[in-house]
Amino acid sequence: MKTVRLSESLKYDIRKEARKKFNKTNPKKEYPTDGYSILVRYGVIDKLEQTKKYFSELWGRSLPTEQPDTVTIKGDWTEFRVDEDGADYEVTDEHQFGLPLANVEVPSFLTRYGDYYLNVPSEDETFVECMSVRMFNDKLEQQEREYVDKLATAINKFSTLNQLVKNAPYIKDLVPQERLQKMHEKDDRKARAKEQAELAEHELADLREVLLEDKLMGDD
What is the model's pLDDT at position 184? 83
For every one of its 220 residues, what pLDDT tens digit does the chain have, with 9 covering 90 and above? 788 999 999 999 999 999 999 999 999 999 999 999 999 999 999 999 999 999 999 999 999 999 999 999 999 999 888 778 778 888 899 999 999 999 999 999 999 888 999 999 999 999 999 999 999 999 999 999 999 999 999 999 999 999 999 999 999 999 999 999 888 887 556 656 666 666 666 666 666 666 666 677 766 5
Q: Quickly count: other Cβ atoms within 10 Å of residue 9's Cβ.
A: 10
Q: Who contacts 106 (Cβ-Cβ below 8 Å, separation ≥6)?
A: 48, 65, 66, 67, 68, 116
Q: Strand 111-112 vs strand 106-107: parallel, antiparallel, or unpaired? A: unpaired
Radius of gyration of the chain (CA): 35
Is residue 180 within 8 Å of 1, Cβ to Cβ?
Answer: no
What is the model's pLDDT at position 87? 82
What is the model's pLDDT at position 86? 77
Cα 79 to Cα 30, 63, 95, 99, 145: the distances in Å are 22, 42, 12, 23, 23
